[in-house]
Amino acid sequence: MKAYSLLPVLLLAACGQTMSPAQQEEPVAAASTEAARPEARPAGGIAPPVGARTEEEFDTTSAEERAAAAAPSSGGESRLGTTVVSLGDPSKPGFWLETPLVSSERDGRVVFPGSGKSAQVTLRPIDGPATAGSRISLAAMRLIEAPLTDLPTVEVYAGG
């Protein structure tokens, strides 16, 4: 009889240690994206710890990765337009912008006119009209010094 009373406790403990499907797929997706990315592109950090609560805990990029992302462009860029950005999924590490301004993944750069700062990012396509908003990574938003709780407008450039 005692064994049956412990069963719910054991099941709950096991559930707390399982990963969601998104968490299970993230390392595979990140690894395949990094393999296709040129060496000069910032690697994008590692996934934040499970108990992350602060922006510092969620932004796992290194000082070297931030410096590489902040480096000026090498030229040959084309301006795609402007977009209103909101903070994207903070559990997805790296420097990226999910935007309807591109139809395929490519290198790019975002500039926040409010600070004049820019970040090299991976531009990832999302469905919607070009006038729709975009989602930006926590690391990129911090690097360009855009307010995390606002909906700032950024300029978007595609790499050459």
Distance CA 117, CA 145 (A): 7
User: Residue 12's pLDDT is what?
Assistant: 39
CATH class of this structure's domain 26-158: mainly beta
Percent residues over pLDDT 70 in the chain: 69
C-beta of residue 88 within 8 angstroms of C-beta of residue 122: no
Q: DSSP 3-state assignment of 146?
A: coil
More confident residue, 112 or 91: 112
pLDDT band at residue 135 using 50, 70 and 90 as cut-offs: very high
C-beta of residue 73 within 8 angstroms of C-beta of residue 159: yes
Residue 40 backbone phi and psi in degrees, to 5 = -70, -20
Closest CA to 125 of 104, 153, 147: 104
Q: DSSP 3-state assignment of 33?
A: helix
User: Residue 6's pLDDT is what?
Assistant: 43
More confident residue, 113 or 22: 113
Distance CA 63, CA 61 (A): 7
CA 24 to chain centre: 17
Mean pLDDT, residues 97-110: 96
Please check the confidence at residue 139 and state whether its pLDDT lies above 90.
yes
User: Residue 26's pLDDT is what?
Assistant: 37
pLDDT band at residue 160 using 50, 70 and 90 as cut-offs: low
C-beta of residue 96 within 8 angstroms of C-beta of residue 137: yes
Q: What are the residue boundaries of the structural domains of the chain, listed by start?
A: 26-158
